[in-house]
Structure 1
C-alpha cells in the first residue's frame, strides 16, 4: 500500500493528522495527548529515515515549483512536531515535580528556547539560510533591543531570580523595607501584585522588589508579634501595675495565649511608668482588631484596679503628677457599671439608681467554677474586677472582663447558661436578682421588649434548652415570651 503513496505525502498526512488528534483529544487527558503526539512524531521520523530524507541537513531544493513545496512542508511539520514533543515532555516533568511556581517559569523559558531553536533549525535545514550571518546580524539588533528594553529586561531577570530563590509564594504575607506590606496575589515576569490590608492591589516591579529587604511574615507560620507601648501614672507599685496588665492581656480574645504575652518595663519617673505589651496574633490581618481589643481590656482593668493613665510626655515638668502618696484611686460603683452596659441603655437615671441600690457584691476565687454549662443563674452578674473564662463543650470560648456581665439569659428568660464560666483570677461582681427587675417590668412593661431585643442579638437558649433560631423578629418574640413567662407578665 505504501508503494503507491509518496513519503512526502505520508509525512504531511501524519503531521496534519497529529494536529487534528491534538484538538480532538480532551484537554484534561494530557498524558493521552502527549503519548499520541510522541507516537506520531516517531512515525514521521521513521518515514524520514526510511526514505533517506534527513531533516538535519539541507539537501537543496529537489526540483522546482510544485515539487519543492511538499518536501519543505514535510520537513517544517517534522520540526514543528519535534518542538511540540519537547515542550510536552517538559510540561509533564514539571507537573510531576509538583512545583507550580517554578513550573511556570521553566515552562516559559523552555518554550521560548525550543521555539527559537526550531525556528533557526527550519531556516538552516529546510530553507538553507546561513545561520552564522543571521546570528551576527541579529546580535547587533539584540544589543539595540537590550538598550531600549533595559528596564523591562531588568524586571524579567529579577523575576527569574525571585522565582528561583523562592523568598515567597502566592498567598504569603510580606513586609518590604519601605513599609509596603500585603499578601502576594500574583507574580509574573514583569511584576508582583500585593493585596494590602485595605484590599488594594499594589503592583511592584520585580527589579525594585529584588533590591528591597523583604520580611516574609507567613514563614514559618503567620503568627505575628506586636508591641504596644503604654504609660500609666505611678499611683501603685510597678509589680501591681504589671499584674493588672497581665490580667488585661490574659482576658483578650483576639491575641494568642501561646506564646504567652509579655509585659516589659521600659522606665519609671515622677510622671509615668512606661512599659510595653508584647503579644502575638494569628495573622497580620488581625492586628487592628487585636490592638483595639487590648486597649479596651487595658482600660477596663485599669479602671477596675483604680489605675490612672499618664499624661503624654512633655519637654518639661509641668503641673502636679499623681503619685501613690497623693492620688485617691477611684472606685467603680454598681451605678457606673449599669451606666456603661448596653443592656441597660433604655433605663432612665432613677431606674438605674434603683437597680444599683439592690446590687449585692459577690466574690469568686481563682479557679472557682461560677456556673456550669446548662445550669441556670438567677442573678445578673456585672464584673467589677477580675477575668472570667468561658468554655463551651470543653472548648475555650473567650473571656469576660470588668464591665462585662453574665447570667442575663437565666435571670430574664429562665434558660441555662450556654458556657461554663470559671474565674481566671479573683473576681468581684455585683449581682442583681429577679426582684430588682420585677418592679421595673411592672412599672414599665415596654422595658421587656427592649431587653428582648438586646438579648436576641446574641445566641439565646429557650427555657427547654433548645437554641432559638430563625428570623430575627421570631427570636425577639421568643425571648419576649420567655421574659413574660419568668416574670408572669
Structure 2
C-alpha cells in the first residue's frame, strides 16, 4: 500500500495518506465559512506539510542515519500530522456542523475537547512506539504535582473560564462593571475574558480575577425586562415647594420622547436631602441600553433644566457661595432692555398681533413668560384645555393629529421660528386640536389669557381683526385634517366663520 526501501523501511508512514485525505476533506468544509480563521488554518496546513516532509525525509534518509533516530523522527512527524488533523476536525465539528444545527457550545468546552483529542492521540502514538505506561504514569505523578503548583494561576484561569461558561453567569454581549471598570464582554477564552469599554479600549481580564471578585451585570438579559436604574441629581432652593418641583420634572420626563429611557417603568423624583439653603433632588429613571448611559443622563438633565425654567424655578447653589462681582443697576437694565426688544421682535412677526400698536406690542412683550423645551418634550396635547399660546423663537416642533376613529397619529405640519401654537386656546378657550412635540431644543415664550386680556378690554374692536386671522388658520388646519380623512366631521365646539369667532372671543374675555 505504500513504498518501501530495500530493507523494508517504508518511504512514508501508512497513516500519512489517511491524514492527508482527512485534512483536505475538513479543510474544504471549513475554509469558506470560517473566514476569520483563514490565517490560522493556513498556518496549520503549513505545519502539516512540514510534518509530511519530515516523514518523507525519515524514509529517504534510511541507511544514511541510525534507524532508531529515523523511527523517532517519523513518530514525531506522524504525531504532528495527527495534531493538525484533530484541529481541523474540531473546527469542522464545533464551528461549522454544530453552528448549522443551532447547537450552542461554549468556546472553552470546544477547546478542552480538542485538547483531550491531542492528549489521546499522544498516548496512542506513545503506545504504538512501545512506551511502557506503568513507568510513565509513576514518573508523571510527581511531574504533575510540580506542574500543578507552578501553573496554579493558569489552571485557575482555565477552570474559571470554564465555570463562567458552564453556569452561564456571564455571556458574550453582557455589560459588566467590576472595580469601577465598565465594558461589554466580547470574548471568553480559557485564560481570559475580553471587555470592550465605551472609550474603545480592549481590556483583557484573567478569569481567576472574575471568579475572586464581585462584578455587576448591567441590564441583565435574563431579566424579564433588561433595565438598569440610573440617577441624576440637582438642587433647588428651599423656597420652592417640593411637590411643585417633582410635578414639573416628572411631567416632562414621563411625556418626553427620550431615547434609551424605558417607557414601561415610571421615573421617580425624590427629595433626598437638605443642603445649605437648598433641597437635594434625585431623578431616577430606567435605562434600556448601558452603552448610552452618560449620553442619556445628559438628555435627562437637559429636560430637567428646561422643565424647571418653564416653571421659573432656578437651580440652587449653596448659601456659602460668595459672589465677588456685583452687577450694577445700569448693567441689569441693559440686559432687561435687550430681552424686552427680543420679545417685541418676536411678537411683531406674528400676524395674530399685527393689529396691535407698537405700544401695545411692547406691553404684551412685558407679559411674555420664558418657556424653553428640550427635544422630545410635548408642548401641547390634543384635547387638553390650556388658555395660552407659545411663540417659537428658536427650534422646531411638529403637530400630530389623532383621528376620532382611534387610528394612528398623523403628522400635520412642522413649525419653526416665528410661528405660534395654541392661538385658538388663548382666544376662545377651545381644546387643543393637535399634540405638538418639540423636534429639537426650543426657545419659546408663553402668553397667558391674563396677559392679553387687558389689551382686548381697552380695544374690543381688535376681536374682529383677530377673528378673521383665526378663521384663516382654522380653515388651514381643517384642510390638513381633510387631507388625512375624507368626510371628517368638524369639531362642533369651534365656530366656523369669522363673525362667530369674534363673538366667541368676546364671550371668552367677557367683553
Please give the TM-score of this superposition, normalised by the length of structure 1. Answer: 0.54
- Match of 1:408, SS? coil
Q: 2:268 aligned to 240, 262, 278, which one?
A: 262
The alignment yields a C-alpha RMSD, in angstroms, of 5.4
Question: Matched residue pairs, number?
Answer: 342
Q: Name structure 2 gaps, 5 residues minimum.
A: 3-7, 32-65, 323-334, 347-357, 372-378, 403-407, 421-432, 439-443, 449-511
Q: 2:161 aligned to 153, 159, 162, which one?
A: 159
Deviation at 1:207, TM superposition (A): 0.8
> 1:264-293: CA deviations, max 9, x gaps?
233568833333211122311212122222
Give 2:236's aligned residue: 232
CA distance in 2, matches of 1:164, 1:129: 36
CA distance in 1, matches of 2:251, 2:264: 15
Deviation at 1:410, TM superposition (A): 7.5
- Match of 1:27, SS? helix
1:296 matches 2:298: no
Give 1:279's aligned residue: 285
Closer, same or farther: CA 211–390 of 1 in aligned 2, 3 Å: farther
Q: 1:422 aligned to 435, 441, 455, which one?
A: 435
8 A contact 1:222–1:284 mirrored in 2: no
CA distance in 2, matches of 1:156, 1:76: 29
CA distance in 2, matches of 1:103, 1:300: 49
Deviation at 1:136, TM superposition (A): 1.8
- Match of 1:277, SS? strand
Q: 1:119 aligned to 109, 113, 122, which one?
A: 122
Give 1:144's aligned residue: 146
CA distance in 2, matches of 1:188, 1:146: 20
CA distance in 2, matches of 1:410, 1:424: 14
Deviation at 1:182, TM superposition (A): 0.6
8 A contact 1:223–1:282 mirrored in 2: yes
Give 1:15's aligned residue: 15
- Match of 2:382, SS? coil
8 A contact 1:252–1:294 mirrored in 2: no
Q: Name structure 1 gaps, 5 residues minimum.
A: 3-7, 32-64, 320-331, 344-352, 371-378, 398-404, 412-419, 432-489
8 A contact 1:194–1:203 mirrored in 2: yes
Give 2:416's aligned residue: 407
CA distance in 1, matches of 2:295, 2:339: 26
Give 1:367's aligned residue: 382
Give 1:179's aligned residue: 180
**For residues 55-454 of structure 1, what are the structure 2 equivalents within 5 Å?**
88=89, 92=93, 97-98=98-99, 102-124=105-127, 126-176=128-178, 178-220=179-221, 223-250=227-254, 251=256, 253-254=258-259, 255-267=261-273, 271-312=277-318, 336=339, 357=362, 366-368=381-383, 381-382=392-393, 406-408=415-417, 422-423=435-436, 429=446
CA distance in 2, matches of 1:23, 1:217: 44
Closer, same or farther: CA 113–241 of 1 in aligned 2, 3 Å: same
- Match of 1:279, SS? strand
CA distance in 1, matches of 2:150, 2:391: 76
Closer, same or farther: CA 130–188 of 1 in aligned 2, 3 Å: same
Deviation at 1:84, TM superposition (A): 5.0
Deviation at 1:210, TM superposition (A): 0.9
Give 2:453's aligned residue: none
241-250 vs 206-215, which moves further: 241-250
Closer, same or farther: CA 252–130 of 1 in aligned 2, 3 Å: same
Deviation at 1:392, TM superposition (A): 10
- Match of 2:137, SS? helix
